[in-house]
Amino acid sequence: MTESDIEAAHGLSVEVRWPHRADDWRLMLEIGHGLVATDETGEVKGTAMWWPFGDGLATIGMVIVSPQMQGKGTGRRLMREMVSAAGERTIRLTSTAAGRALYESEGFRVTGTNTQYQGIVDAGAATDDPRVRPATEADWPAIAALDRQAVGGERTRLLEALRRVGQTFVLDEGGRLTGYSVCRLFGRGHIVGPIVAADAESAVALTSPHMRAQAGAFLRLDTPERDGPLVALAEACGLANVDLSVLMTRGVPPQDGPARVFGRANQALG
């Protein structure tokens, strides 16, 4: 996949009713790698992407096959190419119900869930925590360290891209950062994520300023949480649960903690 494939890849995602904009494709290609599958005329009929997060972790996503090409082994071939490219890394992906059987046959197992919330924001339930402030230039090394704790991998290129295109807040405990959150343009509006924090209450504090900033606009949240304070905030702010998918892993999950992921950058990137 190259920059010249973006228009066709975006058209494919529109065909299967995924919300990604062409700019979302560009950002993901900027920080990762992809393949396209074409028919005999050279028209793009399938895509797959992968993102290396250090030597031990990778994610796979944007696996799309045009409905006209499904059932012909295209998806499996694309997946095997991505797994081969990732080498010995542990691989994570988010699976729809339709894709789960394919991924299980390729050695992936269910290790979690992803709940998608979205809607027009009513920010009345957002909290106001004095420990939360906008990120500064000097905060980014600490943000990167928190991210490594939470995901067990090195997402430097992703964080650099998010720093450029998103709005970032941090939770400052007397000079020690214990969490961060990012909100950026994505799909039908904005997406809030990653959200990395030590506990759910801190995740609520970090998400709330984005709720206020997007009041009256469309916002999406992809979270591993099924209930609890963050889910309660999302629902109180008008975001509805529109999808439940599964997180799947191939290989040994890397060590993570004490900070953990409460909101994903999106389903593909984790």
For residue 119, name the pLDDT band (cuts at 50, 70, 90): very high
* Residue percentage of the chain with pLDDT more than 90: 92
Residue extent(s) of CATH 3.40.630.90 domains in the chain: 117-263
* Alpha-carbon gap, residue 118 to 131, rounded angstroms: 26
Unique residue bearing structure tokens 């439940």: 244
CATH among 3.40.50.300, 3.40.630.30, 3.40.190.10, 3.10.20.30 for 3-112: 3.40.630.30
For residue 257, name the pLDDT band (cuts at 50, 70, 90): confident
Task: Please give the full DSSP string across 55-88, using - where no structure is assigned.
Answer: SSEEEEEEEEE-GGGTTSSHHHHHHHHHHHHHTT
Residue extent(s) of CATH 3.40.630.30 domains in the chain: 3-112
For residue 164, name the pLDDT band (cuts at 50, 70, 90): very high
Residue 256 pLDDT exceeds 90:
no
Model pLDDT, residue 197: 98
Which residue, 83, 72, 89, is CA-closest to 37? Answer: 72
3-state secondary structure at position 257: coil
Which residue, 232, 236, 204, 239, is CA-closest to 218? Answer: 239
For residue 43, name the pLDDT band (cuts at 50, 70, 90): very high
Which residue, 96, 89, 93, is CA-closest to 65? Answer: 96
CATH architecture of 117-263: 3-Layer(aba) Sandwich (3.40)
CB 21 within 8 Å of CB 188: no
Burial letters for 44-72: b for 16+ Cβ neighbours within 10 Å, e otherwise? bbbbbbbbbbeebbbbbbbbbbbeebeee
